[in-house]
Amino acid sequence: MSILLGVNIDHIATLRQARGTDYPDPVHAAAVAEHAGADGITIHLREDRRHIIDRDVEVLAKTLKTRMNLEMAVTEEMLAIAERIRPEYVCLVPEKREELTTEGGLDVVGQQAKISEAVTRLRQAGIKVSLFIDADPRQIDATVATGAPYIEIHTGHYADAEDEISRDKELVRIREAASYAHERGLVVNAGHGLHYHNVKPIAAIPELYELNIGHAIIARAAIDGLDLAVRDMKQLMLDARQGR
Ligand SMILES: CC(=O)[C@@H](O)[C@H](O)COP(=O)(O)O
Ligand SMILES: NCC(=O)COP(=O)(O)O
């Protein structure tokens, strides 16, 4: 049984926004990721636009060869953007301005009416809707009640676990949640904080359809590409000295 990889390219945009340049361009990164086998491209348009910006969403909507998974908070502004752009997938996520990255799943139980309304609006626009939730059966039941057909299980607590016992406990919770959500008819994805050393036990969970992974892939790309990047710069400098 196969599993899909959605590549999150937020942190290409983080690097661009750090200097206010127009490079590196997440549109270019998406094309490279697709060429390498990504099954989809994930972007998180944060309310503070700290990395992905509106222009990226607009251009990617026209240029992606696979599909866009747009992560966004449940706000009127974001819903209006999604209804206009109509990405293939929207994943509704919790958001706090002060967080460094997403700290947990959506509280669907506590915001049932607001989230159900958002899910209905997005589905009416023809978008496949996913809710980013913790591995918690109550949140799964609440998700089913909203009419969202997909979930993404937040794997951040697993990734951040400080010792093997805590990590194994989180893994069991994720396994059980994936199995329960699948039984309840949801398509089950997972992601957050996955990297080259912790991905295999998650990827082995048979009910998982897709993993969304970003930070670790972009970090690896920066290191793996550094050798060539330095060589190219040095060559340009030497060429200049020789009048080339
Ligand atoms: C909501 C979610 O799934 C996160 O994994 C998110 O996409 C990462 O957000 P940042 O890229 O802002 O850290
Ligand atoms: N939804 C999770 C995601 O898109 C990627 O998260 P990360 O790998 O950047 O932590």
pLDDT 10s digits, 72-113: 999 999 999 999 999 999 999 999 888 888 889 999 999 999
Domain range enclosing 157: 4-241
- Known binding residue 51? Answer is yes
pLDDT-based confidence at 228, cuts 50/70/90? very high
At 5, which helix (H) or strand (E)? strand 4-8
Nearest Cα residue to 143 out of 89, 210, 92: 92
Identify the nearest ligand to the CA of 202 by its number. 2
**What local confidence, expressed as pLDDT, does residue 198 receive?**
98
Distance CA 178, CA 208 (A): 7
**What local confidence, expressed as pLDDT, does residue 29 receive?**
98
| Residue 42 CB–ligand 2 contact under 6 Å | yes
Distance CA 63, CA 75 (A): 26
Contacts of 179 (CB under 8 A, 6+ apart): 207
Distance CA 92, CA 46 (A): 11
- Known binding residue 8? Answer is yes
Distance CA 147, CA 116 (A): 7
**Active-site positions?**
44, 71, 192
CATH number reported for the structural domain that contains residue 219 in this entry: 3.20.20.70
Give residue-wise pLDDT tens across range 183-226.
999 999 999 999 999 999 999 999 999 999 999 999 999 999 99
When divided into structural domains, the chain yields a total of 1
| Residue 95 CB–ligand 1 contact under 6 Å | no
- Ligand 1: atom nearest CA of 50 is 12
What integer best gives the mean pLDDT of the chain?
97
**What local confidence, expressed as pLDDT, does residue 188 receive?**
98
**What local confidence, expressed as pLDDT, does residue 231 receive?**
98
| Residue 102 CB–ligand 1 contact under 6 Å | yes
| Residue 123 CB–ligand 2 contact under 6 Å | no
Place of tokens 């790309």: 221
Q: Are 148 and 130 in contact (CB under 8 A)?
A: yes
What does the block give as tokens for 44?
């998180």
Q: Are 31 and 63 in contact (CB under 8 A)?
A: yes
Distance CA 216, CA 193 (A): 8
Distance CA 217, CA 223 (A): 10
- Known binding residue 69? Answer is no
Instruction: Look at ligand 1, atom 13, and give the residue with the nearest C-alpha.
Output: 101
